[in-house]
Structure 1
């Protein structure tokens, strides 16, 4: 029985230091409407999201359209990079991919974040086997999860992601069979 996970990387957000409550920008809200239009045709059964507001807002239009609730999965929150502001975000992310055990002060290494994300996504696959599941999430944790199943998904793949972006991962039991990008660049 095939299970489809639609990873939806959140749309553009308005920066605030409040990671949990950071909302979508005007552009992000418009892109979230496009995501709803795309996913309306995918026969989504379940909508799950990271607890971060920007991820929830990105998939909540789908939930409203389908008259379903957004189920919050804490394990799909974005990787904590550091407890302090990071001077060069891209350099910090790159170092994590080069040295998977590396972490900044108070942050998660790629290894730790990937374990958390995998635990969550395998639980989702087990609970909703055979379903089409939209997952509102974040670029780094999404690619770390994808990397667990196929190492070709790494730093350069992360760099090429759009915001938002949608990848459909098809699983047979817990084995990844196929990955398809279904977000079209504007």
Structure 2
């Protein structure tokens, strides 16, 4: 079995600079909780989106296990639009309602999902039988999960916390189990497919 711990980044300071947007003060504190939780899980390798907020969320566990973070560009957040959108929720609803639809300069669900899934399958090949942390983002994470099980949809995305961790267990390339890791209680929560939202 291979365990992929998808870590949705902690709270960040908003700016239009997607690549370099850092965690907020609250986000940095929550990243410490993430590290404390992951350190008991015998992590073998840490991978991340190149975006700073994702890297900052998982860099603590990388330091603890003495490994360099492996940056994989295809775990970056999906590009919703080339320009800021007037109504973010409406834009998200449109792209999730039609997986082929995209806003100007943005990625459709199908396009973003394809690159995220390809990156995931490469990780499964490279690190078979290991425990891997992947620092990533809400929309691309759920699109990846949706590929393996369509119950993970926009409503699931709406309930994600910042940060949030989901353990996806694979037998080769078949998803066999999903468990949420409860960050704010700093313990492994065996809750199967039930969705709970952590307190902010």
TM bucket, shorter chain: over 0.9
Would you say the 8 A contact 1:49–1:71 is kept in 2?
yes
How far apart are the structure 1 equivalents of 2:90 and 2:182? 27
Segments of 4+ moved more than 4 angstroms: none
Q: Per chain length, whose mean CA-contact separation is higher, i.e. which structure has more relative contact order (CA < 8 Å, sep 6+)?
A: 1
2:96 match: 97
How far apart are the structure 1 equivalents of 2:91 and 2:182? 27
How far apart are the structure 2 equivalents of 1:164 and 1:67? 22
Q: State the SS of the aligned residue for 1:41.
A: coil
Q: Deviations over 1:45-70 (max 9, x none)?
A: 01000010000000000001111110
1:48 match: 47
How far apart are the structure 2 equivalents of 1:167 and 1:91? 26
How far apart are the structure 2 equivalents of 1:92 and 1:129? 37
The alignment's TM-score, normalised by the length of structure 2, stands at 0.91
1:65 match: 64
How far apart are the structure 2 equivalents of 1:150 and 1:57? 29
Would you say the 8 A contact 1:167–1:183 is kept in 2?
no
1:36 match: 35
1:175 match: 174
- Structure 1, unpaired ranges of 5+: none
How far apart are the structure 1 equivalents of 2:73 and 2:89? 24
How far apart are the structure 2 equivalents of 1:183 and 1:105? 37
Number of aligned residues: 185
How far apart are the structure 2 equivalents of 1:177 and 1:90? 31
Would you say the 8 A contact 1:47–1:59 is kept in 2?
yes
Q: Which has the higher helix share?
A: 1
Q: What do you get for the CA RMSD once the two structures are aligned?
A: 0.7
- Structure 2, unpaired ranges of 5+: 184-197
1:113-124 aligned at under 5 Å gives the runs 113-124=112-123
Would you say the 8 A contact 1:169–1:178 is kept in 2?
yes
1:125 match: 124
Shift of 1:183: 2.5
Shift of 1:4: 0.2
How far apart are the structure 2 equivalents of 1:183 and 1:13? 20
Query: Are 1:154 and 2:153 an aligned pair?
Result: yes
Shift of 1:86: 1.0
Q: Deviations over 1:136-186 (max 9, x none)?
A: 000000000000000000010000000110000000000000000002424
